Amino acid sequence: MSSRYATVEVHSIFNKQIGKAQTIGEKESQQSYNDVFIPKLANGYNIALDVLGTRMDSFRFSTFIQDKMTVNFFIGGAYGFDREFLKKCDKTISLSELTYAHKIANIVLCEQIFRSLCILNNHPYHK
Amino acid sequence: MSSRYATVEVHSIFNKQIGKAQTIGEKESQQSYNDVFIPKLANGYNIALDVLGTRMDSFRFSTFIQDKMTVNFFIGGAYGFDREFLKKCDKTISLSELTYAHKIANIVLCEQIFRSLCILNNHPYHK
């Protein structure tokens, strides 16, 4: 249904390097995400998800992404992102004060994007 | 894995009455949830999920549920709960400022309960 309003793509970049780094520690995990994410920052408006980011309700979220042609969301691993990566992004958003597993954050984010498209296009899904 | 630490049961109570009520409006939807949830409030510590409830991080969530023998969580429909139901509960908690679909709230809540059990029992899942 969302394809009427926007193109939404989910790219899973989990690889062996990340898997191994996460068993070693925080710095290694964050570095492994930098290695794959930094080359992806070139185009569009880049939003990192981080528990210390800006919180907003679903309506504000929808207006926030409304006027942007291409928005890239980045979800970190078990240790989140380092400051270097967050500084390279245009904005950091928090989905919740609660910590979510990577896959849960992915599901929540997808539903918020879908909900936003419905809000912005007066589709009744959101209520 | 969580069965080592606690018994977790998920009860889905969605029925025809709720489905119909949600197509009519807010009051009807909330009433249909009251009809099925109020009889379930008898035992244990009752927590309603509502966007206007208390927000907490995963560690506070884990300590909050720690000392309670039986905790019941209630997730409302598209229109949430009415004040009457919230007053009958012991506590109202918000998972996020963002509005989640019922099924998304269920997934997020299950992971938080699992994460809490890991935090409280020093299992490395949560980090």
| Residues of B with Cβ-Cβ distance to A56 under 8 angstroms | 97-98
Let me know if residue B127 belongs to a domain.
Answer: no
pLDDT tens across A107-118, in order? 999 999 999 999
Helix (H, G, I), strand (E, B) or coil at B10: coil
Which CATH number goes with the domain that contains B34?
A: 3.40.1280.10
Let me know if residue B14 belongs to a domain.
Answer: yes
Let me know if residue A23 belongs to a domain.
Answer: yes
Question: Tokens at residue B41, please?
Answer: 């409030």
Which residue has tokens 């007066």?
A122
Q: Report the residue of chain B nearest A79, measured CA to CA.
A: B127
Domain that holds residue B48: 2-121
Which residue has tokens 């919230």?
B86
Helix (H, G, I), strand (E, B) or coil at B62: helix
Other Cβ atoms within 10 Å of B77 Cβ, number: 18
Let me know if residue A121 belongs to a domain.
Answer: yes
Name the burial class of residue B53, with classes exposed (0-12), middle (13-18) and buried (19+) by CB atoms within 10 angstroms of its CB. middle
Report the run of H or E that residue B54 belongs to, with start and end: strand B45-54
CA B115, CA B126: separation in Å to the nearest integer?
6
| Residues of A with Cβ-Cβ distance to B78 under 8 angstroms | 127
Q: What is the pLDDT of residue A127?
A: 62
Contact at CB, A57 and B51, closer than 8 angstroms = yes
Q: What is the pLDDT of residue A42?
A: 77
CA A69, CA A48: separation in Å to the nearest integer?
17
pLDDT tens across A56-95, in order? 999 999 999 998 999 999 999 989 999 999 999 999 999 9
- Looking only at the bridges linking them, the beta strands covering A71-75 and A45-54 are parallel
Let me know if residue A5 belongs to a domain.
Answer: no
Q: Is the pLDDT of residue B2 over 90?
A: no
Question: Tokens at residue A25, please?
Answer: 């520690």
How many distinct structural domains can be found in chain B? 1
Contact at CB, B98 and A98, closer than 8 angstroms = no
For the residues A41-47, what does the mean pLDDT come to? 91
Q: What is the pTM of this model?
A: 0.91
Contact at CB, A95 and B99, closer than 8 angstroms = no
Q: What is the pLDDT of residue B126?
A: 66
| Residues of B with Cβ-Cβ distance to A126 under 8 angstroms | 99
Let me know if residue A75 belongs to a domain.
Answer: yes
Let me know if residue A3 belongs to a domain.
Answer: no
Helices A58-66, A102-120: inter-axial angle, 10-degree rounding = 70
Helix (H, G, I), strand (E, B) or coil at A4: helix
Let me know if residue B126 belongs to a domain.
Answer: no
| Length of chain B as a residue count | 127
